[in-house]
Amino acid sequence: QVQLQESGPGLVKPSQTLSLTCIVSGGSISSGGYYWSWIRQHPGKGLEWIGYIYYSGSPSYYNPSLKSRVTISADTSKNQFSLKLSSVTAADTAVYYCARGTTSSTWFGPWGQGILVTVSS
């Protein structure tokens, strides 16, 4: 079955760019029918959708509150997709999850195990 795994630095300095990668195994991101997504969870808080992308790169959708700072891209040759969040502050400290969404409905699954990213100098 499809599995997702986040990777990237666990510590990012304020004003820098947070960069994470999600490696997909057990299935191809090019198979179609799915959006490849990023979702985050601030410590002790609820879930916040960041955005998602189709394997071809289009369409992509971003949370309006983060849109000016977010870029999600897909690399079909490596079967992975990535998140870049620029100009980070302490408010961006969270567990970041990658997940598979569907083009035909509203659910996300499966999810990666999550990676805690702390923004601190």
Partner 1 sequence: QSVLTQPPSVSAAPGQKVTISCSGSSSNIGNNYVCWYQQLPGTAPKLLIYDNNKRPSGIPERFSGSKSGTSATLGITGLQTGDEADYYCGTWDSGLSTGGVFGGGTKLTVL
| Cβ closest to partner 1, residue 55 vs residue 108 | 108
Residues 42-101 that bind partner 1 (CB under 8 A): 46-49, 51-52, 61-65, 97, 101
The string of DSSP letters for 36-101 reads EEEEEE-TTS-EEEEEEE-TTS-SEEE-TTTTTTEEEEEETTTTEEEEEE-S--GGG-EEEEEEEE
| Cβ closest to partner 1, residue 27 vs residue 61 | 61
| Cβ closest to partner 1, residue 34 vs residue 112 | 112
| Cβ closest to partner 1, residue 25 vs residue 65 | 65
Query: Does 109 participate in binding partner 1 (rule CB under 8 A)?
Result: yes
CB of 113 to partner 1, least distance (A): 5
> Contacts with partner 1: how many residues (CB under 8 A)?
25
Q: Which spans of this chain sit near partner 1 (rule: CB under 8 A)?
A: 37, 39, 46-49, 51-52, 61-65, 97, 101, 105-114
